[in-house]
Amino acid sequence: MERSFKRALGALDDVFVFLEEALAAAGADAQSAYAVNFAVEEFFTNMVKYEPGGGHEVSISIEREADRLTVRMVDSGVQPFDVLSARTPNLLDPLDKRPVGGLGIHISRELLDSVAYKYENGRSTITFVQTLGA
Amino acid sequence: MFSITVGDDGAIHLAGRLDASRVEQAEAVFNRVTDTCRVDFSDLQYISSAGLGMLLKTQKRLSTSGKSLILVRMNKLVRDVFRIARFDLVFQIDEEENPPLKLG
């Protein structure tokens, strides 16, 4: 299943409606569905944050093969920006030293089996894989 | 859907899905908290990094006056995310809580 969304925070509700539909169709378990929601929201809001301008859309596709879900997010008309290169904040810092940002990418990577970033012809593509549980 | 309510005892109750487009609504309530406060997660199905950041910010602010948020009744999926974030180190997270005894 594939759909395109306006690159804007206001499109997030539509993204979640699509995910609910696509994850149900793929027979995803609750834990996998949570991981996909979390990661898609994280990457989508990052795309909005770093390229807020202009009429482009973000397309999201979800495919199931055996027990693996592959999610692909394509952001067109953008400069290269590899969100996966972000440094993990030190999670062991005491409260007053812990940074508020930078957590989402780290948690997404922990939840998912694998994540990859590719840039080609003005398009950023994030592909991630989630193995379905029982 | 997302909702946030404050009970008579000052405890905050979260319900539904707390994502990036709802975090401002939640933050408006958390910004008014000035004392140690329980946050009931029992009806919260989903929280993303936007909500985690908001909670961490609130906890930092409260800690400067010796106060804190106490997080209770999380479902397993939400709790897993808090563990990965290592929020167990900076929040009191009550795993299980006995339902109130009904007397008489």
* ipTM value for the complex: 0.92
Looking at this protein, which amino acid is placed at residue A100?
Answer: V
> Which residues of chain A neighbour B90 with C-beta distances below 8 Å?
94-95, 98
Lowest mean pLDDT among A49-53, B15-19, B21-25, B33-37: A49-53
The burial class, CB within 10 Å (0-12 / 13-18 / 19+), for A55 is: exposed
Q: Which of A97, A81, A77 is nearest to A89 (CA)?
A: A97
Looking at this protein, which amino acid is placed at residue A42?
Answer: E
Lowest mean pLDDT among A45-49, A79-83, A89-93, B80-84: A79-83
Nearest CA in chain A to B48: A38
Q: Is A110 on the interface with B (CB under 8 A)?
A: yes
Note the pTM of the prediction, 2 decimals. Answer: 0.93
A64/A114 Cα distance (integer angstroms):
15
Query: Which architecture, in CATH terms, is B2-94?
Result: 2-Layer Sandwich (3.30)
User: Could A110 and B59 be called an inter-chain contact, meaning their C-beta atoms sit closer than 8 Å?
Assistant: no
User: Could A9 and B21 be called an inter-chain contact, meaning their C-beta atoms sit closer than 8 Å?
Assistant: yes
Mean pLDDT (whole number) for A61-66: 97
Residue-wise pLDDT for A21-49, tens only, equals 999 999 999 999 999 999 999 999 999 98
Q: Is A97 on the interface with B (CB under 8 A)?
A: no
Domain count, chain A: 1
> Which residues of chain B neighbour A9 with C-beta distances below 8 Å?
20-21
* Complete DSSP assignment for B33-62: --S-EEEEEEEEEEE-HHHHHHHHHHHHHH
CA dihedral B38, B14, A93, A84 (to 10 degrees): 180
Give the CA count within 13 Å in the CB-facing half-sphere of A76. Answer: 9
Give the tokens for residue B70: 């106490």
Q: What is the pLDDT of residue A29?
A: 97
Q: What is the per-residue burial (b if ≥16 Cβ within 10 Å, else e) of A3-33?
A: bebebeeebbeebbebbeebbeebebeebbb
Q: Tokens 């994850």 appear where?
A: A23
Dihedral class, residue A101 (left if φ above 0, else alpha if ψ from -120 to 50, else beta): beta
In chain A, pLDDT over 70 holds for what percent of residues?
96
In order of A97, B63, B64, B70, B97, the CA distances from B67 in angstroms are: 17, 5, 7, 10, 21
How distant is the Cα of B104 from the closest Cα of chain A, in angstroms? 39
Domain boundaries, position A70: 2-131
User: Could B21 and A92 be called an inter-chain contact, meaning their C-beta atoms sit closer than 8 Å?
Assistant: no
User: 3-state DSSP call for residue B30?
Assistant: helix
Residue-wise pLDDT for B60-100, tens only, equals 999 999 999 999 999 999 999 999 999 999 999 997 655 45
Q: Read off the CATH number of the domain in which A106 is found.
A: 3.30.565.10
Spans of all domains in chain B: 2-94
Nearest CA in chain A to B2: A13
